């Protein structure tokens, strides 16, 4: 799988913010997503196109309304490819940290 478009799309705070907003409330229109944002409608549209091209956002039509949904597929693939693999190492680091902190208490 080609992760480049996904990481490129994620390498921007505004786009991560849009994903967080969809995580809070899935299935929003462009207008809803623009509410309370310090960005022009055009800028939001542009970010959404990049997110959609990276398959991080999926759109469905409800009548004449285009609704944006968080697509969990690429995030899941990242978790499988980049996180699970290192999980064992991470747990070991945490358990060592715990030991050090507890030793300090004594």
Partner 1 sequence: MSESKFVYVTYIRTTPEKLWRALTAGEFTRRYWAGTWQDCTWQKGAGWRLMIPDGRVGDAGEVLEIDPPRRLVLSWQNQFIPDLKAEGPSRATFELEHEGDMVKLTIVHEMDKLGSKFIEQVSGGWPLILASLKSLLETGESLEATRKWPEGM
Q: Which residues bind partner 1 (CB under 8 A)?
A: 26-27, 55, 58, 60, 69-73, 76-77, 80
Q: Which is nearer to partner 1, 53 or 96 (CB)?
A: 53
CB of 97 to partner 1, least distance (A): 28
Task: Considering the complex, state which of residue 28 and residue 47 has its C-beta at the smaller distance from partner 1.
Answer: 28
Q: Please list, residue by residue across 32-70, b when 16 or more beta carbons sit within 10 angstroms of its beta carbon and e when fewer do.
A: ebbeeeeeeeeebeebbebbeebebbeeeeeeeeebbeb
Cβ-based neighbours of 65, under 8 Å, separated by 6 or more: 29
Shorter beta-carbon distance to partner 1: residue 81 or 92: 81
Q: How far is the CB of 6 from partner 1 (least distance, A)?
A: 12
């Amino acid at each position: 799988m080609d992760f480049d478009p996904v990481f490129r799309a994620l390498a921007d705070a505004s786009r991560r913010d849009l994903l967080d907003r969809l995580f809070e409330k899935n299935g929003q229109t462009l207008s809803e997503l623009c509410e309370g944002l310090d960005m022009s409608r055009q800028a939001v549209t542009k970010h959404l196109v990049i997110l959609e091209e990276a398959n991080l956002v999926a759109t469905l039509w409800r009548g004449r309304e285009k609704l944006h949904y968080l697509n969990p597929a690429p995030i899941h693939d990242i978790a499988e490819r980049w996180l699970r693999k290192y999980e064992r190492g991470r747990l070991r680091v945490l358990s060592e940290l715990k030991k050090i902190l507890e030793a300090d208490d004594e």
